[in-house]
């Protein structure tokens, strides 16, 4: 038996990068999966085809995480399609790095909508479908603990909110046997923050292991938190940062 055999998972923002790595790993562990995407239908369908080619079950759902109704509908569609819901991974995110004077109200509203409100709405909706043993994993950031650069106030604000939300929801969901945890990756080689990008050398200088994480390394950790073996971990913010904040 695979560790997630007969489980159902939804991963938001999973057409590429970290989200794609997570949804593929959960499928490889036996889960039937759904992935949401906002603007990359071809990439999303490519992920679905890869999972199906490896013997898994997957669907892609168009859902902009800034749209409350779309987030709710995606969670409900997943539960309806597969007949249950066991795992939610809140991964979809937005990133704005700007000097304080350049940040706009639209930047603020979009970041809070995608990085905070969508996490709450998805967790709220998922909890309606989950039974004992349910798992919610939020993808936060090590930058909620450690910020060695300027221009990140808005991003850090939202990821710090995710850490606080995770603690609070652990109290709401604990009596129901549902766990919720916050994964805090350090620099990870994705489209959003490539290991060859403009800030990569500076970022590597802060990492004890002197390299970026691969998306697969983060996905391995998420898969553990989604598994039965993590049943006594909840409300935690857990670093996977190669010593970035050491």
Catalytic residues, which ones? Answer: 155
Token couple for 206: 């802060």
**CA–CA dist 134, 216 (Å, integer):** 23
Residues with Cβ < 8 Å from 100, sequence gap 6 or more? 151, 153
**CA–CA dist 225, 111 (Å, integer):** 26
Contact 25, 31 (CB under 8 A): no
**CA–CA dist 140, 115 (Å, integer):** 9
Exposed / middle / buried, residue 200 (Cβ in 10 Å: 0-12, 13-18, 19+):
middle
Cβ neighbour number for residue 217 with a 10 Å cutoff: 15
């Amino acid at each position: 038996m695979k560790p997630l055999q007969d489980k159902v998972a939804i991963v938001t923002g999973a057409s590429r990068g970290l989200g794609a790595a997570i949804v593929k790993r959960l499928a490889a562990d036996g889960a039937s999966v759904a992935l949401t995407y906002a603007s990359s239908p071809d990439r999303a369908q490519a992920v679905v085809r890869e999972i199906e080619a490896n013997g898994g079950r997957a669907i892609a759902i168009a859902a902009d995480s800034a749209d409350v109704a779309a987030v709710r509908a995606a969670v409900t569609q997943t539960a309806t399609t597969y007949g249950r819901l066991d795992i939610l991974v809140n991964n979809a995110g937005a990133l704005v790095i700007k000097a304080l004077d350049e940040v706009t109200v639209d930047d603020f509203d979009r970041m809070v909508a995608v990085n905070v409100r969508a996490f709450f709405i998805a967790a709220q909706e998922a909890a309606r479908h989950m039974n004992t043993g349910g798992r919610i994993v939020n993808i936060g950031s090590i930058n909620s603990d450690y910020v060695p650069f300027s221009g990140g106030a808005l991003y850090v604000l939202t990821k710090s909110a995710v850490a606080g939300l995770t603690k609070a929801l652990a109290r709401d969901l604990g009596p129901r046997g549902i766990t919720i945890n916050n994964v805090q990756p350090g620099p990870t080689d994705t489209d959003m923050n490539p290991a060859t990008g403009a800030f990569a050398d500076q970022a590597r200088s802060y990492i004890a292991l002197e390299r970026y994480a691969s998306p697969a390394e983060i996905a391995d950790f998420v898969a553990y938190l989604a598994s039965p073996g993590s049943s006594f971990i909840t409300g935690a913010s857990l670093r996977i940062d190669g010593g970035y904040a050491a």
